[in-house]
C-alpha cells in the first residue's frame, strides 16, 4: 500500500454506477478513505449497461476538481478493471429478484465473484486489499478469495462495518452518551439477520457494556434485532437499500485497515477464519479486529475475549448459516 507519497493508489470500484457507488466515489476521491496525502486513481468497473451512467459519474468527479484525483478510467471487463488494483471495492452484485431463493442468489452472484476473484488473482497489484460489499457479502468474499489462489486469504474481507456502526449508534442512544464514547463493540458472524452484535466487552463512556446488557429484554428484543434487521428497516423506509451509510462504512473499513484502528479500540470485519473463537476455518466470518496500519497491514483478531453462553449460542447460529452458504456454493462448484 502506498501512503503519504505522490504515487497514486489504484482503487477499483465495481458497481460504480449504482447507488452505493454514487455515494462512495466522491469520498474516495476527496481523500477521506486513504488520507489527505494520498492521490488516487479510480478504476470503475460496470456491466456494459452501466457504463454510460458510470461515465456520467466520472464527469461529475472531474467537475469536483479534487486535488488528489489522479485519473479515472471505466471498464466492463474485470481483467482491465482490476489491472494494478491496490484497493478493490466489490460493490456490484445481483440483487434478489421476485421468486429468487437464497441458492439462486448465491449462484447468480457466483457468476460475478468467481471471475472477479480470478481477475484479481491475475492482474491486481501484489499488495491488493479487497473489500466485498455486494450481498451476500461474506459468501461473495469467500467465492472471490477461493478463486484467487495466489493472493493471501487475509487480503479478502467482507463488510460488516455498517452493522458495527449501527450498533455503536444504538448503544450511544440507549446510554445517552456521544457515539465517540462507545468503543469495543463486536459484530460476529454473517452480514445477515443472523449476525450477533456483542456489547459484553464494550466500553460505554467508561462503563462496561455488560451493565447495559443486564437488561436482557432490551438486549434481546431491541438492541440485537434492531441492529441485525436495520438493513430491512432502511429498505422499508427508503424504498431502496442503504447507500450513503454503506458507502461510509466502506470508507471507514479501508481507512482503518490502511491507516490503523485507534489505540484502545477495535472494529468488526468479515475475514477468512483461522479457527479463532471456535469459528471453523475457511469461512468469511465477522470478528473483532484491529489493524496496525502501514504497508502490509492485516486485520488481526482481538484475542482472549471471554465468550459467555448467550453470546456463544448467537455466534454459533450465525456461523452455522455461513457454513450452509459455503456448502451451497461448494455444491455449485464456485469454490
Ligand X SMILES: NC(=O)c1ccc[n+]([C@@H]2O[C@H](COP(=O)([O-])OP(=O)(O)OC[C@H]3O[C@@H](n4cnc5c(N)ncnc54)[C@H](O)[C@@H]3O)[C@@H](O)[C@H]2O)c1
Ligand Y SMILES: O=C(O)C[C@H](O)C(=O)O
CB-nearer residue toward ligand Y: 41 or 191: 191
83 in Cβ contact with 112 (< 8 Å): no
Element (H, E) at 186: strand 186-188
Half-sphere exposure of 196 (CA within 13 A, CB side): 23
> Is 164 marked active-site?
no
Cβ closer to ligand X: 93 or 315? 93
Residue 312 CB, shortest distance to ligand X, in Å, is 24
Question: Judged by CB under 6 A, does residue 120 bind ligand X?
Answer: no
Q: Does the protein bind ligand X through residue 259 (CB under 6 A)?
A: no
Question: Considering the complex, what minimum distance in angstroms separates the CB of residue 208 from ligand X?
Answer: 28
Query: Which residues in the 123-152 window bind ligand Y by CB under 6 A?
Result: 135
Binding of ligand X by 42 (CB under 6 A): no
Q: Is 242 in the site for ligand Y (CB under 6 A)?
A: yes
Q: What's the rounded Cα separation, in Å, for the pair 42 and 253?
A: 18
β pairing state of 87-90 and 9-14: parallel
Q: Residue 328 in 3-state DSSP?
A: helix
Which of ligand X, ligand Y, none does residue 232 bind to, with CB < 5 to 8 Å depending on kind? ligand Y
From the list ligand X, ligand Y, none, pick the one residue 145 interacts with, judged by a Cβ distance below 5 to 8 Å according to partner type.
Answer: none
- Choose from ligand Y, ligand X, none: what does 139 bind? Cβ within 5-8 Å by kind: none
Nearest approach in angstroms of CB 22 to ligand X is 8
Q: Which residue's C-alpha cell is 463488510?
A: 159
Q: State how far the Cα of 332 lies from the Cα of 335, in Å rounded to an integer.
A: 8
CB distance 171 to 199 below 8 Å: yes
CA 116/CA 118 separation, integer angstroms = 5
The owner of cell 471487463 is 77
Q: Which residues bind ligand X (CB under 6 A)?
A: 14-15, 17-21, 45-47, 50, 91-93, 95, 112, 133-135, 137, 159, 162, 191, 241-243, 246
Binding site, residues? 15-21, 96, 102, 109, 116, 133-135, 166
Amino acid at each position: 500500500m502506498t501512503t503519504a507519497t505522490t504515487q497514486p493508489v489504484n482503487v477499483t470500484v465495481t458497481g460504480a454506477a449504482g447507488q452505493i457507488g454514487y455515494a462512495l466515489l466522491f469520498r474516495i476521491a476527496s481523500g477521506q478513505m486513504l488520507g489527505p496525502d494520498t492521490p488516487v486513481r479510480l478504476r470503475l468497473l460496470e456491466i456494459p449497461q452501466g457504463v454510460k451512467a458510470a461515465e456520467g459519474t466520472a464527469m461529475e468527479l472531474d467537475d469536483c476538481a479534487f486535488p488528489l484525483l489522479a485519473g479515472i478510467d471505466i471498464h466492463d471487463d474485470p481483467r482491465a478493471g482490476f489491472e494494478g488494483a491496490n484497493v478493490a471495492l466489490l460493490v456490484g452484485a445481483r440483487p434478489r429478484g421476485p421468486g429468487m431463493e437464497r441458492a439462486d442468489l448465491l449462484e447468480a452472484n457466483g457468476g460475478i465473484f468467481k471471475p472477479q476473484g480470478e481477475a484479481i488473482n491475475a492482474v491486481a497489484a501484489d499488495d491488493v486489499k479487497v473489500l466485498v460489499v455486494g450481498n451476500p457479502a461474506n459468501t461473495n468474499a469467500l467465492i472471490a478469495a477461493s478463486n484467487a489462489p495466489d493472493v493471501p486469504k487475509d487480503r479478502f474481507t467482507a463488510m460488516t462495518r455498517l452493522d458495527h456502526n449501527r450498533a455503536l449508534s444504538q448503544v450511544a442512544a440507549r446510554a445517552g452518551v456521544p457515539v465517540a464514547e462507545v468503543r469495543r463493540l463486536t459484530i460476529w458472524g454473517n452480514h445477515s439477520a443472523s449476525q450477533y452484535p456483542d456489547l459484553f466487552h464494550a466500553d460505554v463512556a467508561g462503563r462496561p457494556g455488560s451493565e447495559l446488557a443486564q437488561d436482557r429484554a432490551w438486549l434481546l428484543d431491541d438492541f440485537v434485532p434492531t441492529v441485525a434487521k436495520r438493513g430491512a428497516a432502511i429498505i422499508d423506509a427508503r424504498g431502496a437499500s442503504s447507500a450513503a451509510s454503506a458507502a461510509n462504512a466502506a470508507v471507514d473499513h479501508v481507512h482503518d485497515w490502511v491507516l490503523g484502528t485507534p489505540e484502545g479500540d477495535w472494529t468488526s470485519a468479515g475475514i477468512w477464519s483461522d479457527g479463532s473463537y471456535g469459528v471453523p476455518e475457511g469461512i468469511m466470518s465477522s470478528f473483532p479486529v484491529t489493524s496496525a496500519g502501514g504497508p502490509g497491514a492485516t486485520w488481526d483478531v482481538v484475542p482472549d475475549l471471554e465468550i459467555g453462553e448467550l453470546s456463544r449460542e448467537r455466534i454459533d447460529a450465525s456461523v452455522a448459516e455461513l457454513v450452509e452458504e459455503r456448502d451451497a456454493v461448494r455444491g455449485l462448484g464456485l469454490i
